[in-house]
Amino acid sequence: MGNDYNNQDNIDWNELFGSDDSSDEYDNDNSNTKLNIKTWSLIPGLVLAKEAISHEAQMKLLQAITDNRYFHDDIDQAICFGTLPKHFSWLETWAKTKGSELFPSVITSRRPLFDQAFINLYPKGKGIKSHVDLLRFDDGILSISLLSSCVMMMKKDNQKIPVVLRPGDVLALSGEARYQWEHGIEEKTSDQVDGEWIERGTRVSITLRKMVQTLNFE
């Protein structure tokens, strides 16, 4: 994430998304449909639920992020700890109902499923360096993509597997995908996918995780 970017205040979120008087009602109108799942045989534990969050629910998430002023000045990351606020907690409920499609049951049966939400803002061209999430976070990580597409690069040894994330997609990482593979987003303004260039814009992601219970980690 870059710190040198300071013009996100120029984005008029209300003009982009309108203001929504019913924004205290959060749900996903495609919650009854089966997820459109993509998996990778090379990367056990990597699950992409494509277009899993409805357009309307994406707009409500973005409106809540705007209303709560998570991003301002140079701030491009916000963190909610403990009981998630209502505008995000429905995602946990949603993930519980979809759980078996996203994670092994040992993860989906824990309560709470998540106790942290990280909200990241990626201005066009920005990324996040390749990493494995800290071990203080338990297995089972969910990332919701909003606004812009990007390619997330999965890396292990000399293997590099691109994963296209589009707005409304939900990426689940568990097991090998969470612990053995690194993930990152390269700094570029467009991504080449199947010979086609996909232009990036401003991207927002919501990452849901749970802290491990013991304090015996590095």
Ligand X SMILES: O=C(O)CCC(=O)C(=O)O
Write out the residues near Fe ion by the rule CB under 5 A.
133
State both tokens at 139.
């297995």
Residue 118 interacting entry, from ligand X, Fe ion, none, C-beta within 5 to 8 Å by type: ligand X
Judged by DSSP in three states, 50 sits in: strand
Nearer to ligand X, 13 or 118 (CB): 118
Task: Tell which one of 143, 149, 174, 202 touches ligand X (CB under 6 A).
Answer: 143
Binding residue count for ligand X, defined by CB under 6 A = 8
Closest of 14, 22, 84, 12 to residue 57, by C-alpha: 22
Nearer to ligand X, 40 or 118 (CB): 118
**One-letter identity of residue 121:** L
Stretch 78-117 residues interacting with ligand X (CB under 6 A): none
State both tokens at 39.
């998996």
State both tokens at 124.
């066009």
Does 133 bind ligand X (CB under 6 A)? Our answer is: yes
Helix (H) or strand (E) holding 106: helix 105-108
Stretch 165-204 residues interacting with ligand X (CB under 6 A): 183
CA 66 distance to own-chain centroid: 17
Closest of 191, 131, 194, 134 to residue 165, by C-alpha: 191
**Residue number, nearest CB to Fe ion:** 133
Instruction: Please give, one letter per residue, the 3-state secondary structure of 90-115.
Output: HHHHHHHHHHHHHCCHHHHCCCCCCC
Task: Tell which one of 177, 205, 208, 210 touches ligand X (CB under 6 A).
Answer: 205
Burial class (CB in 10 A: 0-12, 13-18, 19+), 209: buried
Nearer to ligand X, 24 or 160 (CB): 160
Does 118 bind ligand X (CB under 6 A)? Our answer is: yes
Question: Measured from the CB of residue 64, what is the shortest distance to Fe ion in angstroms?
Answer: 22
Task: Tell which one of 120, 148, 174, 202 touches ligand X (CB under 6 A).
Answer: 120
Where does this chain bind ligand X (CB under 6 A)? 118, 120, 128, 133, 143, 183, 205, 207
